[in-house]
Amino acid sequence: MPIRLLPPDLINRIAAGEVVERPASAVKELVENAIDAGATRIEVVLRDGGRSLIAVTDDGCGMDAAELALAIERHATSKLPGDDLTHIASLGFRGEALPSIGAVGRLTLTSRKRGADSAWSLTVEGGVKGAPQPAALAVGTRIELRDLFFATPARLKFLKAPRTEFTHAVDVVHRLAMAHPHIAFAVHDDTRAVVRLAAQAPDLVGGAEAARLARLAAIMGRDFADNALALDATREGVRLTGHIGLPTLNRATAAMQFLFVNGRPVRDRLLQGAVRGAYQDFLARDRHPLVALFLELPAEEVDVNVHPAKAEVRFRDPGLVRGLIVGGAKHALAAAGHRASTTVATAALGSFRPAVGGGALPYLQHHATLPRGLAEQAAAAFAPLTETDRIGELPGFDAPAAPPGQPQPRETEPAAEAYPLGAARAQVHGTYIVAQTADGIVIVDQHAAHERLVYERMKQALADGGVKRQGLLIPEVVELDEPAAARLAARAAELAELGLVLEPFGPGAVVVREVPALLGATDVPGLIRDLADELAEFGQALGLKERLETVCGTLACHGSVRAGRRLNPQEMDALLRQMEATPHSGQCNHGRPTYVELKLADIERLFGRR
């Protein structure tokens, strides 16, 4: 067949396939236009999940009749005054949203410009454009999209149930609302207002950070706000702000992880890899933290013109951004010290009452075992550590207990209750330490707490002495595709610091000469291929770090004080003081809490005294 130009209406429908995938895509484009127009209030109405009606109303700058007619033309925009795609300061800039939406539905635009004495309305139905007509509207713009995909009925078959589509649309609004707390948002379904977010004034106590945290609390939950750690880090002109949750506040999926770049919500694998790297010491692999991170960097350092949906970006220096996220998150977690999330105490209190949804939080159970022979190999790798180091160097930890029937020796120090974790008063079932604080009690899982202390000491030993290597008697040649081999060769120095020594071996292959001694007998080709995949996806050798830390964690589990061991008062107090001085001691290596704190007021309520 001869080459021919496609008709304009078909071109618009093809473009709409990239921009308008589902009702939530249309909501995103229309709400972004409202934000760019300077709106302070945005209202979204959806019926039948967005199939029958999507209406977005704002109080922005508005448009006159001539601007309305131009707005529905392809690639017409007011957001690139200098025609410079390297300095994009708005959410939209391609000029494709309105003509694409009008090509697949019945679109009505009504707008009144600020200072004008009347409003104007214009319709687009399946790509056919009408003429502007006088209308009635307050200052701002109202856009109605009816019968989505009526012009492309095949697309309707791919839509989910109305409730599912509505949920996706709400998620879009939530993400935009997080980045713009000064704007009020509302979302209505067929019967009621599902989302109502009041504008957060930045002049409140605490400034812009407090306003943002209030908006995050309204969307991510009050638990997140109560257990969030603030971030504020800058490196080479790139600034990272936001909040991350304590490790003991976690979820089964990564759905509550958000990244914003210059006020634009984006979905990027870099966030997943960076957050995973920052939390790898604190959570099991199937648990995920809650985070909301905001990056600010010069416009020329990031490319937002990657896809028409504008949900992906490309950084000029992804390593810088990744390092900033990992470093900022780790610094905030270290500064939190032994703090555990308040949800731990809430779950504990809930277990005293009739359970409605299962009682306490479903924290992961951990039963660590070492493969046969690995304990000896790993112990040899930690030869510089003395037996005292492995047990924890707790003062008096090996002090003999008093004979049965005799009172335990103890120096009473009422001031000990002023410590954050208080003064030890008893040991229950040989496993839990009960301590009294100035305003409540603390219950400590002695094994989980000491496991964290030993693990942190092992990590410090690795950092100080390096990872010991085991040379292979016969070097292992691993065949890969050429890009994967090149990625590994480029990171050879970094891998060598982790105990893995490799070098290029012709095109598409590497030769491994040494491996970390901690790993013992391991599947070298499998390890290398996993590392190559992770370097491609995340830009980090997470698998090797996690394997080393898993072994350290297992050794810490086996080398720490066991549940069932009787401790005297001095030993219990020593453990509490060590926890207070050790970062991350609020949770063990698998995300489980090491202690539960109950305030006196909560205990009194349990007994009806309040």
Own/partner contacts of 299-306, CB < 8 Å, gap of 24 or more, are: 299/86, 299/87, 299/88, 299/89, 299/262, 300/86, 300/87, 301/237, 301/238, 302/261, 302/262, 304/88, 304/93, 304/261, 304/264, 305/85, 305/88, 305/93, 305/94
Question: Is 100 within a domain?
Answer: yes
Question: Is 96 within a domain?
Answer: yes
* 117 and 183 both lie in a single domain: yes
* 123 and 170 both lie in a single domain: yes
> Is residue 111 within 8 Å of residue 82, measured between CB atoms?
no
Which range, 121-130, 396-405, 544-553, has the best average confidence (pLDDT)? 121-130
- Residue 119 confidence (pLDDT) above 60: yes
**pTM of the predicted model as reported, rounded to 2 decimal places:** 0.69
Question: Is 440 within a domain?
Answer: no
CATH number of domain containing 284: 3.30.230.10
Question: Is 598 within a domain?
Answer: no
In whole angstroms, what is the distance from residue 162 CA to residue 168 CA? 10
Question: Is 568 within a domain?
Answer: no
* 251 and 188 both lie in a single domain: no
Q: Which of 281, 303, 336 is the last residue of a domain?
A: 336
Q: Which of 336, 363, 394 is the last residue of a domain?
A: 336
pLDDT of 366: 42
* 162 and 290 both lie in a single domain: no
Q: How many residues are there in the chain?
A: 610
* 187 and 256 both lie in a single domain: no
pLDDT of 120: 94
pLDDT in tens, 433-457: 999 998 889 999 888 888 888 777 7
pLDDT in tens, 9-27: 666 666 655 567 889 989 9
Domain enclosing residue 315, as ranges: 207-336
CATH number of domain containing 94: 3.30.565.10
Full DSSP string of 501-539:
EEEE-STTEEEEEEEEGGG-S--HHHHHHHHHHHHHHTS
Question: Is 35 within a domain?
Answer: yes
- Residue 355 confidence (pLDDT) above 50: no
pLDDT in tens, 369-395: 445 555 555 555 555 444 444 444 444
Q: Work out the pLDDT band at 604, boundaries 50, 70, 90.
A: confident
* 257 and 159 both lie in a single domain: no
- 62: amino acid identity, one letter: G
- Count other C-beta atoms under 10 Å from residue 599's C-beta: 14
pLDDT in tens, 182-209: 999 999 997 889 999 999 877 655 678 8
* 41 and 170 both lie in a single domain: yes
Is 109 strand, coil or helix? Answer: strand
* 48 and 156 both lie in a single domain: yes
pLDDT in tens, 493-517: 878 877 889 999 988 899 999 988 7
pLDDT in tens, 146-180: 998 887 777 788 888 999 999 999 999 999 999 99
* 112 and 12 both lie in a single domain: yes
Q: Which of 283, 312, 336 is the last residue of a domain?
A: 336
Question: Is 312 within a domain?
Answer: yes
- Residue 32 confidence (pLDDT) above 80: yes
* 71 and 158 both lie in a single domain: yes
Q: Give the percent of the chain with pLDDT over 90.
A: 27
* 302 and 169 both lie in a single domain: no
* 51 and 101 both lie in a single domain: yes
SS (HEC) of 466-497: CCCEEEEEEEEEEECCHHHHHHHHHCHHHHHH
β-bridge pairing 41-47 and 184-188:
parallel
Give me the phi and psi of 58, to 5 degrees please. -140, 170
Q: Cα angle at 29 between 28 and 32, to 5 degrees?
A: 80
Question: Is 507 within a domain?
Answer: no
Q: Report how many domains make up the chain.
A: 2
For residue 591, give the nearest of 302, 362, 345 by alpha carbon: 362
